[in-house]
Amino acid sequence: MTRSLITSMLSVAMTAVLSTSAMASDLANIRASACGTDPAKASRVGMPTGALFVRGKNFEHATQVDEDFPAMVKLKMIYQHDGYAEIEHCGGTVIDSRHVVTAAHCVKPKDGAQWDRIEIVTGDASLESEKVIRRTSHTAICHAGADSFLANDIAIIKLQEPLPKEIVPAKIDDYRRPTVSPGGIAIAAGWPVTGDRAGETYLKKVPLSVSDVEWPGFITVTSPFGRMEGVCQGESGGPLLTTTNGHRSIAGVLSGIQQGTNNASGEPCMMAGYDMYYTPIAAYRDWIENVVQLCSSNPDECRGKSESSFFMSNAPSFQTLGRLASVGRFGQ
């Protein structure tokens, strides 16, 4: 059963991103808020930890890491209920051994409910590999301006245990120096959850044409051939890769897809040449660095609160302009 996550998407009034002091003492000073769960209240039922963490020991990990997206991760936000678990799927990118960048709408509480934990899988292009590396997180930091229109749709996840050195962090765009421009080509990647390739467990890549770059709004991409191809729901937070002068950089994180891509059976991403929207890293590079520094120096400031503080009122019932690129499912 698919959990309904349709919401209003685009806003012409995007909150400006200002450079803030890296020495800020609390999240409010850097326009951030804790959107993680309280580890003391989280369920411990069925929580896989993956490879045993041994500090200082090298990990044996798979050799099938994708050369373009070696820092790509699969995220599963686990909503633990009595007798079953509800799972929301997203993607993300490792930016250092303890931190992953993703979309804020992936990790913000949904409909008044807070996820129990985030499970992270990386280290191999195949999710079914026996050598994938798994981590768990209860800590997520969202941009304070993130809203239901997908403005400022960016977040940082802090892992409970660091990743091994074999997982090389991605290079991301510098502040105010985007590596994308209209007419250029970028590459997207993800593990399909919906669309014509739903359920495939091997990382898929697709070249996309950049049609628009808003500041600090969205990077809009589409199929360069007008085909029914691209990323889809369940792949939010995943990276958009560019190559400039031989250097690869992550330019954006997936936020949403064009509305009206569904076919007669309701399956999304079934329209030729549909648009995909990425939040530009270059607009938030300073914010990312400030969050990582604060959460490293003052971890208590970034920990989740009690669930009562996460109550969300119902979203306004105005016309839907787009569709989130995350998706929730019951079971596995």
pLDDT tens sequence for the chain (332 residues)? 333 332 323 322 223 333 334 345 699 999 999 999 877 665 544 333 333 333 344 444 445 789 999 999 999 999 988 888 899 999 999 999 999 999 999 999 887 789 999 999 999 999 999 889 999 999 999 999 999 889 999 999 999 999 999 899 999 999 999 999 999 999 999 999 988 888 889 999 999 999 999 988 999 999 999 999 999 999 999 999 999 888 999 999 999 999 999 999 899 999 999 999 999 999 999 999 999 999 999 999 998 764 333 222 222 222 233 556 665 533 33
pLDDT of residue 305: 62
How far is residue 279's CA from residue 131's CA, in Å, rounded to a whole number?
Answer: 31
Question: Quick check: bond before 216 cis, omega within 30?
Answer: yes
Residue with tokens 């989280």: 42
Structure tokens at 176: 């105010």
How far is residue 230's CA from residue 235's CA, in Å, rounded to a whole number?
Answer: 10
Instruction: Look up residue 227 and give its amino acid.
Output: R
End-to-end CA distance of the chain: 11
What DSSP string describes 80-143?
EETTEEEEEEEEEEEEETTEEEE-HHHHS-BTTB--SEEEEEESSSBTT-TT-EEEEE-EEEEE
Burial class (CB in 10 A: 0-12, 13-18, 19+), 300: exposed
Residue with tokens 């787009």: 322
Structural domains in the chain, CATH included, are 2-14+23-50+61-170+283-330 (2.40.10.10), 185-281 (2.40.10.10)
Structure tokens at 120: 């992270």
How far is residue 233's CA from residue 4's CA, in Å, rounded to a whole number?
Answer: 11
DSSP state of 160: S
User: Residue 290: enclosing H or E segment and its boundaries?
Assistant: helix 285-297
State the number of CA atoms in the 13 A half-sphere of 40 facing the CB.
5
CB count within 10 Å of CB 129 equals 18
DSSP state of 194: S
* Of the candidates 47, 54, 301, the residue with the CA atom closest to the CA atom of residue 161: 54
Instruction: Look up residue 99 and give its amino acid.
Output: H
pLDDT of residue 252: 98
pLDDT of residue 89: 95
Secondary structure tally for the chain: helices H, strands E: 3, 17
pLDDT of residue 112: 75
